[in-house]
Amino acid sequence: MQTTVSIPTLENIAFQRLENENFITGEVDFNPTYGVYTGYLQITPTICIDFTDSKYCLADEGEKIAEISSDLENAIENYLRDNYTISDDESEYDFADMRIKLQKEY
């Protein structure tokens, strides 16, 4: 399904949504074991940024974002890393558990 929105217009909309974090809807999951994101971010009523298996594409356009704009691809990667990446580092959890235990003892 092709849209009547031009690629530069679509790119501008995507950048605005990323910058303002105001997507229509979206669902993002991060798998720390494999370091991949799955899900989507809806940027217009009919078009979303789909990054299932970390292959970023405009879902209804069927075009890979890397082929449209490397700047947009980098912006999406940065947005996902900054907002959805969770650490697989157990030391963070160990510290929190120790702090809770110490608080209970006092």
Instruction: Please write the tens of the pLDDT for every residue from 82-95.
Output: 888 876 555 554 55
Closest to 37 in 3D by CA, of 47, 45, 27? 27
**Residue 75 · residue 65 · CB < 8 Å:** no
What DSSP character marks residue 43?
-
Confidence check: pLDDT of 9 > 80: yes
Query: Which residues lie closer than 8 Å to 29 by C-beta, 6 or more apart?
Result: 37, 38, 39, 84
Quickly tell me which residue has 């704009």 as its tokens: 69
Please write the tens of the pLDDT for every residue from 30-63: 888 777 888 888 888 888 888 775 567 776 666 7
Q: Show me where the domains of the chain are located.
A: 7-105
Q: How far apart are CA 94 and CA 50, in angstroms?
A: 35
- Total-model pTM: 0.68
State residue 1's pLDDT score.
43
